[in-house]
Amino acid sequence: MHWLNVVAIVMMIGSGLQIYDASPLFGFVVPPLFTIGGWLGAGIAWHLAFMWLLLANGLAYLLWGFFSGHFRRKLLPVSPGAVLRDIAAALRFKLPHRQGVYNAVQRLLYIGVIFAGVVIVISGLGIWKPVQLWFFTDLCGGYFIARYVHFFAMASIAAFVVIHILLVLMVPKVLPPMITGGKILDTQP
Ligand code: HEM
């Protein structure tokens, strides 16, 4: 699910930026290098196609996470004190990594990006079908505000990805098990 999500997120952000360029919300457009589709129509087609992957994969992950106890076991508890303590330890490069146990910063970031994922899907559906799915459009404050909500949810996910990849580069041994599903034998920090 994690790696399907990476494919979906890359395609959604690239095609979303293509759509953004056709009617920019802010005073800038995105260079073609970072967009997918080449023109508005193709951008929309990619965006709606990969939306189904993001939605199906995301729903499966949420259902599994809740009902298997994964979220309760791995992402909770998380307190402001623990987050501050772990940030301070990370800045001094003294934050140990135990396999299968997320530190407080990871927990906060993962909960945050899951929340941003829910917001981006709800606001996206609200923009796509404001008549049929009006309750999603209304939940976001109307069509116009929903566009901003959608953009800022995308920006939060993009910021998460940058920090997430930097953290993985700092502790590269966590990557192979995430690909193979196997265990790390070395449990030293
Ligand atoms: C090439 C890009 C990426 C790499 C290399 C990567 C790598 C990893 C690794 C190694 C872990 C396990 C961390 C650990 O065991 O301490 C992880 C977990 C996680 N990643 Fe990524 N990731 C990438 C992209 C993404 C994206 C785009 C998202 C979401 C937008 C994401 C969301 C998550 C979440 C939520 C978890 C925790 C999953 C769970 O335990 O349920 N990642 N990632």
CA separation (Å) from 143 to 20, 26, 32, 140, 156?
Answer: 15, 16, 26, 8, 20
110 lines ligand 1 (CB under 6 A): yes
Tell me the pLDDT band of 184, cut-offs 50, 70 and 90. low
pLDDT of residue 185: 57
Closest ligand 1 atom number to CA of residue 110: 35
Q: What is the pLDDT of residues 110-169, one digit of tens each?
A: 999 999 999 999 999 999 999 999 999 999 999 999 999 999 999 999 999 999 999 899
> Cβ(178) to ligand 1 under 6 A?
yes
Average pLDDT over residues 23-32: 97
Q: In b/e form, how buried is each residue of 158-177, taking b as 16+ CB within 10 angstroms?
A: eebeeeeeebeeeeeeeeee
Report CA(13)–ligand 1 centroid distance (Å): 17
164 lines ligand 1 (CB under 6 A): yes
Rounded mean pLDDT of 16-42?
98
- Taking the centre of ligand 1 as the mean of its atom positions, its distance from the CA of residue 22, in whole angstroms, is 31
pLDDT at 68 over 70: yes
Amino acid at 156: S
CA 91 – CA 103 distance, rounded (Å)? 14
d(CA 116, CA 110): 10
With a cut of 70, say whether residue 187 has pLDDT above it: no
- Look at the block and give the residue holding tokens 């802010």: 26
Closest of 61, 44, 86, 78 to residue 4, by C-alpha: 61
Is pLDDT at 189 greater than 50 in this prediction?
no
Identify residue 12 by its one-letter amino acid code.
M
114 by Cβ neighbours in 10 Å (0-12 / 13-18 / 19+) ranks as: middle
For 69-124, write each residue's pLDDT tens digit.
Answer: 999 999 999 999 999 999 999 888 888 777 788 999 999 999 999 999 999 999 99
74 lines ligand 1 (CB under 6 A): yes
SS3 content of the chain, % helix, strand, coil (to 5): 75, 0, 25
- What pTM does this model have? 0.92
Q: Is the CB of 158 under 6 A from ligand 1?
A: no
Q: Tell me what pLDDT residue 186 has.
A: 53
What's the rounded Cα separation, in Å, for the pair 96 and 85? 12
